[in-house]
């Protein structure tokens, strides 16, 4: 009877975990593993591109790849994890609840936008967190072109000035001009509770973001927080009122709530704290990866961020180690020493930095070419070719 590796989630971490586990089984010449991926659809949603136009096309099919590598796909949504019985209850596309057993479980259900208890947030704010919500936002932008031109229609508020907020805000001037016309005066306002633009970045990177914002006409409200959102705009805690037909929430992410069903220590974002093999210490047969894992990247105290850059590598190590534990092969301690930052800054260009100290290496058009190469090629699934896919899934192969 084959041993079962069950991977919950087909995002960057889940997809690469499956390919990596299949790779190790192939390398060792073993055919006694059953690798299964449980997810609503056999696709990889290219979430880092959801700030762009034509978001409906940002889902890469996985059926051919999985078939080529003998990875079993289960269509459904996980609802309950029973670590004592080593099983996951999931709901299939017909609404039936079914049980999937495992010998090793890899939890790769990703993250979601954190939504605090702010009046009107659920009813009136858009987000680009998921493909469906990003599509709703895009449709809303299309509908604005049918309205009369007013300051309220032409104003858009982005709540949160992190990575997603910056990329969306700097992309929006061009998106609005395409709908309203080149001569329409638009206003993009980023509401950020921090004291500086791009507070988590290096001074050099912050200065670049500020330069791009100024050139694009993107305004920032620093040291500001949202008190309430309604159909006609936002009210800040300092009493300022911003009239806007569009409010987008991008402030903060947290691990998928499925992680709460697994006993273990968590960080402030709800991620399970894992050991160097990416196992949950209280349940060594369970591996957390991607945005579900709080993992050390090196021996200097750095930890993986909730980005596809880290999710891809975390997935490769998790898949390898889960398979290794069933094949009597030594695990690889997760390490990801190299770190880069590449921020799209809309019509201004982009900025690319290297290292945890975020030393800027290039900006504008040169950085934009790198950004396009990353988001249009590097992060997409490998071709449905066994040799190519396995070469890419090697956890020790160079990535960035």
Task: State residue 1's pLDDT score.
Answer: 87
CA 156 from centre of chain: 23
Strand order in the sheet with 77-82: 77-82, 87-91, 97-101
Residue 95: which residues within 8 A CB-CB, separation 6 or more?
none
Cα torsion angle, 229, 46, 90, 75, sign: positive
pLDDT of residue 349: 98
pLDDT attached to residue 400 = 79
Contact 160, 192 (CB under 8 A): yes
The number of CA neighbours under 13 Å toward the Cβ of 238 is 10
* Distances in whole angstroms, Cα of residue 129 to Cα of each of 46, 51, 156: 11, 9, 17
Helix 12-27 vs helix 308-327: angle between axes, to the nearest 10 degrees? 30
Q: What is the phi/psi pair of residue 256, to 5°?
A: -55, 140
Q: What's the pTM value of the predicted model, to 2 decimals? A: 0.97
pLDDT tens, the chain, 400 aa long: 899 999 999 999 999 999 999 999 999 999 999 999 999 999 999 999 999 999 999 999 999 999 999 999 999 999 999 999 999 999 998 999 999 999 999 999 999 999 999 999 999 999 999 999 999 999 999 999 999 999 999 999 999 999 999 999 999 999 999 999 999 999 999 999 999 999 999 999 999 999 999 999 999 999 999 999 999 999 999 999 999 999 999 999 999 999 999 999 999 999 999 999 999 999 999 999 999 999 999 999 999 999 999 999 999 999 999 999 999 999 999 999 999 999 999 999 999 999 999 999 999 999 999 999 999 999 999 999 999 999 999 999 988 7
Alpha helices in 71-162 (DSSP H): 121-124, 131-144
pLDDT of residue 53: 97
Question: Would you state the pLDDT for residue 332?
Answer: 98
């Amino acid at each position: 009877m084959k041993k079962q590796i069950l991977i919950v989630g087909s995002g960057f971490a889940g997809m690469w975990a499956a390919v990596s586990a299949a790779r190790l089984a192939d390398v060792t010449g073993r055919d006694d593993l059953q690798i299964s991926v449980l997810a609503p659809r056999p696709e990889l949603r290219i979430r880092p591109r959801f700030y762009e136009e034509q978001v409906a096309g940002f889902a890469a099919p996985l059926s051919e790849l999985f078939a080529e590598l003998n990875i079993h796909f289960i269509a459904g949504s996980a609802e309950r994890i029973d670590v004592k019985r080593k099983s996951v209850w999931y709901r299939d596309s017909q609404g039936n609840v079914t049980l999937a057993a495992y010998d090793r479980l890899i939890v790769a259900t990703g993250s979601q936008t954190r939504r605090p208890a702010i009046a009107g947030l659920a009813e009136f704010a858009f987000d680009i967190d998921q493909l469906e919500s990003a599509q709703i936002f895009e449709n809303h932008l299309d509908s604005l072109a049918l309205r009369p031109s007013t300051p309220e229609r032409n104003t858009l508020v982005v709540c949160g000035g992190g990575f997603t907020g910056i990329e969306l805000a700097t992309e929006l001037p061009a998106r609005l001009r395409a709908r309203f016309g080149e001569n329409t005066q638009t206003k993009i306002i980023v509401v950020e509770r921090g004291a500086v633009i791009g507070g988590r970045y290096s001074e050099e990177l912050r200065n670049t973001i500020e330069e791009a914002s100024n050139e694009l006409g993107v305004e920032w409200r620093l040291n500001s927080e949202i008190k309430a959102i309604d159909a006609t705009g936002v009210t800040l805690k300092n009493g300022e009122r911003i009239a806007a037909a569009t409010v987008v929430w991008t402030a903060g992410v947290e691990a998928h709530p499925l992680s709460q069903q697994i006993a273990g220590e968590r960080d402030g974002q709800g991620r399970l704290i894992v050991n160097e093999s990416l196992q949950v210490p209280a349940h060594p047969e369970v591996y957390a990866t991607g945005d579900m894992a709080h993992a050390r990247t090196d021996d200097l105290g750095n930890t993986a961020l909730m980005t596809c850059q880290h999710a891809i590598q975390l997935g490769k190590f998790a898949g390898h180690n889960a398979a290794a534990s069933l094949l009597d092969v030594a695990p690889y301690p997760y390490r990801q020493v190299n770190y880069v930052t590449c921020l799209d800054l809309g019509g201004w260009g982009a900025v690319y930095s290297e290292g945890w100290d975020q030393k800027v290496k290039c900006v504008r058009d040169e950085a934009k070419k790198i950004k396009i190469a990353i988001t249009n090629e590097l992060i997409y699934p490998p071709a449905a070719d066994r040799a190519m896919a396995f070469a890419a899934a090697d956890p020790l192969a160079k990535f960035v």
